[in-house]
Amino acid sequence: MNENSQIQMIADYEGDIETLFDINFDGVIPILATRNIVMFPGVICPILIGREQSVGLIDAMRANPNRIFAVFCQRNSDVEIPSKEDVYTTGVYAKLVKVIDLPGNQKTAIVQGLSRCTLDDFYYTPAYFEGKVSAMPELLPKADDTEFNTAVKTMRRSMEEYIQKNDEFPNESAFALQNISNNILVTNFSATNLPISITEKMGLLETQSIKERLFNLLRILSREIQFLDLKLNIQNKTHEDIDEQQREYFLHQQMRNIREELGGSEGSPEKKALKDKAAAQKWSEDVKKVFEREYDKLDNYNPQSPDYQIQLTYLQTFVSLPWGEKTVDNLDLKHAEKVLNSDHYAMEKVKERILEFLAVMKLRSMARQNNEEIRHKSQIICLFGPPGVGKTSLGKSIAKAINRKYARISLGGMHDESEIRGHRRTYIGAMPGRIIKALQKVGSSNPVFILDEIDKVTQKTINGDPTSALLEVLDPEQNSTFHDNYLDVDYDLSDVLFICTANDLGTLPKPLLDRMEIIEITGYTTEEKYEIAKRHLVKRDKQDNGFAGKEYKDLKFDKKALIRIIEQYTRESGVRQLDRQINKVLRKLAVEMLTKESEETGLEKIQVDDIEKYLGKPLVTREIYQGNNYAGVVTGLAWTSVGGEILFIETSLSKGKAGKLTLTGNLGDVMKESAVLALEYCKAHSDLLNIDYRIFDNYNIHIHVPEGATPKDGPSAGITIATSIASALTQRKVRKNTAMTGEITLRGRVLPVGGIKEKILAAKRAGITDILLCHENRKDIEEIADFYLTGLEFHYVENVKDVWDFALTDEKVDNAIEFTIEPEKDKTQTA
């Protein structure tokens, strides 16, 4: 049995074919469910029997050979115990011809299909499957049907052609096809053995007319022959390409062998250049072995093949990296300090940190000369601050100060992890990551490397997580063995001075923040912006706008003019907008100079009165101190991203029964909580204010912070709100030219706040002379230069009572409100 194919088991039928199809049994009958076998009427087919129910059916048919059963194909061959939904409803009656016992307790049943039937119901029994079936008659062609007979001849030729082109069919298949004389049987035989899908075979079986089934079979057969022709054509082309490549490869191998025998050249110019560069590299033994292994692979590739070019590009990248190549650091601290001060004004903390770095480098160099063991560790710094304060340009100055190469990559919007780690060489178009490419570009292993806008890296995308890839780069404990996927070998980044820049640390993952030393660069004050404009911006903008000649040497901006631009035409932390406004003034001046009729070329100093002529009306208005003639109006100090500001807290009282608190001015949750705390403290300490506690039950309190379109939040207005409420309740004036800032607790304690430098400068601009602060903020005042503090007096407080004692005067405001309190009702009950 194992030596015979399915087709060879078919025998021709010499009798009347209609006797095979004349089965009209309707009722319950045993069912044989087959997997991947569709039987057609009249065809004898071997079926491997393995399922328990199928074995039971065959044993029952063996005992009664004249008994018929039905064969139906399963929809899903993986189902062991099928239901009616798992079986196609069209099948054939069948009879058992022979059973062959195989090793392993398996059987093969030789089954002959009879007429078609349809499955009406399906039953499961432990012995075998049963089903209710009904006969499906077929439309047989007439014996003299010329069209049918001609089509059968065409089908025979097509089947023979298909068998010849398909290697999966045995050689005897065409002989078996030729020996079937009955046209109906040869049609069903071909439909049974054609290797098409079960769905298409079932479509043929469900066709009632034999003639229509034949034409459908011809269409399918024509399609399969076309697929075979296409497959053979593709295989022939592929073999030709491979043969041509093999031929070229062997020829090149022979040429190489001939050159070696003759003592000829060492290979192509590219390979010779690789060898020369490799000889000059300062590689470790491990890296050298990797290169030699990859270099030897070139000999296995045909120079015309894509794999050769990919390998050559990899090796060229490998040898072009600055392995161990370093620039000599200039460790002169005075030189570095001079360079940093000339390029950037202020930024004292950053400059101090760079000088510390140089000092440590110098001590380490001295210790190395004395052969002392030193632990090597890279430096990771993150400059954090608002836009436009010079974080990126500071990196250039640092590289210039210590005589190192400068490398920079922008991480804003990066969403692919491969941009950091590189692509594996198995991908088409693979390349190293941007870290390795930047080092390749600068040609040094110890540059100052700026990772710009690190807070704008896209996290956890479909292409990986770039921020996680940065963990290895920015970890001093790991980056000495940085692994790029393209290089597939460790690269030492421990000598690189990484400087990251960020505007918002809130978007960075905590593990990444933990690996960096955070240095905050705050926004510039008005005085600092003036110095930057005078020292750097005006000089640069004059050159950019054509005022570089000697005749324009004396062209300057008056100090008051620059300060007016800063305060009334810009509102920013950095100096970008200031730079644009200075450019605008110079452009207007250029137009005026070239269009005037006189031939005068000398230009005077730009005065404060000229600013409005060139820039138009002021764009920004700052709050000014409004005096102390109103009860409930207190001046507070606030920090914003563009510097310090003064703000006013206004409190008013209105007659009402509920004692309701109303808050307006676009306040945030924290500021609203501060207002509630301040009111509750006032209620609990009404005796300190010498007011009747019943006033809170008879008057509604409304607290407002002007400029309602601007969102405001934070706890630093706590003492300001408490003082505003106290002034409104007592109708007492607040001390003149006084401002305050500080957070309060429910028990009246004053807590420290931040942004002190910006706040006191805003107070100074507004004409404030006295500032109330928490006593813990004294250390912040001591860090500020003395010339910023001239004209200001600081009063340090510990609780709200101290604030009231200083801020509230004994003088009543004009037109003070007289509060009327309704007497309490007598609650004495009478019997």
In a domain, 234, yes or no: no
- Structure-token pair, residue 710: 């601007």
In angstroms, the CA 643 to CA 761 distance is 9
| Same domain? 637 vs 611 | no
Q: What is the mean pLDDT of residues 147-164?
A: 88
CATH classification at residue 89: 2.30.130.40
**pLDDT at site 675:** 93
**pLDDT at site 13:** 59
Angle at CA of residue 60, ends 57 and 65, nearest 5°: 115
> Is pLDDT above 80 for 796?
yes
Residue, of 556 and 265, whose pLDDT is higher:
556
At which of 136, 171, 195 does a domain end? 136
In angstroms, the CA 164 to CA 175 distance is 11
Cα separation values, 359 from 172, 329, 330, Å: 92, 12, 11
- Structure-token pair, residue 540: 């640069």
CB 776 within 8 A of CB 749: no
pLDDT in tens, 328-341: 888 888 988 899 88
> Is pLDDT above 50 for 829?
no
Q: Which stretch of 194-203, 530-539, 780-789 has the lowest confidence by average pLDDT?
A: 780-789
**pLDDT at site 755:** 84
> Is pLDDT above 80 for 419?
yes
| Same domain? 421 vs 468 | yes
Q: Which stretch of 442-446, 567-571, 596-600 has the lowest confidence by average pLDDT?
A: 596-600
Q: What is the mean pLDDT of residues 673-692?
A: 90
> Is pLDDT above 90 for 801?
yes
> Is pLDDT above 50 for 601?
no
**pLDDT at site 79:** 87
Q: What is the mean pLDDT of residues 524-541?
A: 88
Per-residue confidence band for 266, with pLDDT thresholds at 50, 70 and 90: low
> Is pLDDT above 50 for 599?
no
Q: Is 443 left (phi over 0), alpha (psi -120 to 50) or beta?
A: left
Q: What is the mean pLDDT of the chain?
A: 84
CB 418 within 8 A of CB 485: yes
CB 92 within 8 A of CB 41: yes
DSSP letter string, 19-82 = HHH-----EEEEEEEESS----TT-EEEEEE-SHHHHHHHHHHHHSTT--EEEEEBS-TT-SS-
Q: Minimal CA–CA distance to 686: which of 745, 742, 730? A: 730
**pLDDT at site 523:** 76
| Same domain? 642 vs 674 | yes
| Same domain? 706 vs 778 | yes
> Is pLDDT above 60 for 343?
yes
Q: What percent of the chain has pLDDT over 90?
A: 27
| Same domain? 689 vs 763 | yes
| Same domain? 667 vs 764 | yes
Per-residue confidence band for 416, with pLDDT thresholds at 50, 70 and 90: confident
Angle at CA of residue 624, ends 618 and 627, nearest 5°: 150
**pLDDT at site 240:** 62
* Amino acid at site 566: I
In a domain, 142, yes or no: no
Which of the residues 397, 716, 724, 727 is marked catalytic?
Answer: 716
**pLDDT at site 8:** 37
**pLDDT at site 15:** 60
| Same domain? 549 vs 513 | no
Establish whether 759 is a catalytic residue.
yes
How many CB atoms sit inside 10 A of residue 127's CB?
Answer: 13
Q: What percent of the chain has pLDDT over 70?
A: 90
Does residue 793 sit in helix, strand or coil? strand
> Is pLDDT above 70 for 9?
no
- Residues in CB range of 112: below 8 A, 6 or more apart: 20, 42, 43, 44, 45, 94, 95, 97
CATH classification at residue 682: 3.30.230.10
How far is C-alpha 626 from the chain's CA centre?
50
- Residues in CB range of 188: below 8 A, 6 or more apart: 40, 41, 42, 43, 113
Q: Which stretch of 2-6, 272-276, 423-427, 537-541 has the lowest confidence by average pLDDT?
A: 2-6
| Same domain? 425 vs 465 | yes
| Same domain? 649 vs 786 | yes
Per the listing, tokens 């309490």 go with: 824
In a domain, 45, yes or no: yes
CATH classification at residue 546: 1.10.8.60
pLDDT in tens, 216-231: 999 999 988 888 888 8
CATH classification at residue 383: 3.40.50.300
In a domain, 342, yes or no: no
| Same domain? 514 vs 575 | no
Per-residue confidence band for 87, with pLDDT thresholds at 50, 70 and 90: very high
Cα separation values, 272 from 38, 268, 281, 528, 767, Å: 67, 6, 15, 58, 77
DSSP letter string, 229-287 = HHHHHHHHHHHHHHHHHHHHHHHHHHHHHHHHHHT---S-HHHHHHHHHHHT----HHH
* Amino acid at site 167: D
How far is C-alpha 404 from the chain's CA centre?
32
In a domain, 400, yes or no: yes
| Same domain? 564 vs 641 | no
At which of 136, 168, 189 does a domain end? 136
Establish whether 716 is a catalytic residue.
yes
Beta bridge partners of 482: 491
> Is pLDDT above 60 for 6?
no
In a domain, 54, yes or no: yes
How many CB atoms sit inside 10 A of residue 169's CB?
Answer: 17
Helix (H) or strand (E) holding 163: helix 146-165
DSSP letter string, 688-714 = HHT--TTHHHHEEEEEE-S-TTS-B--
In a domain, 407, yes or no: yes
> Is pLDDT above 70 for 2?
no
At which of 119, 136, 153 does a domain end? 136
> Is pLDDT above 60 for 826?
no
DSSP letter string, 563-614 = HHHHHHS---SSSHHHHHHHHHHHHHHHHHHHH-SS-----PPBPGGGHHHH
> Is pLDDT above 90 for 695?
no
Which of the residues 201, 405, 542, 759 is marked catalytic?
Answer: 759
| Same domain? 607 vs 668 | no
In angstroms, the CA 355 to CA 363 distance is 12
Q: Minimal CA–CA distance to 72: which of 42, 100, 36? A: 36
DSSP letter string, 326-343 = -PPP---HHHHHHHHHHH
- Residues in CB range of 243: below 8 A, 6 or more apart: none
Domain that holds residue 111: 18-136
pLDDT in tens, 464-479: 788 888 888 888 888 8
**pLDDT at site 770:** 93
In angstroms, the CA 148 to CA 154 distance is 10
In a domain, 390, yes or no: yes
Angle at CA of residue 431, ends 427 and 437, nearest 5°: 165
* Amino acid at site 394: L
pLDDT in tens, 105-145: 678 899 999 889 999 999 888 889 999 999 998 888 888 88
Number of domains in the chain: 5
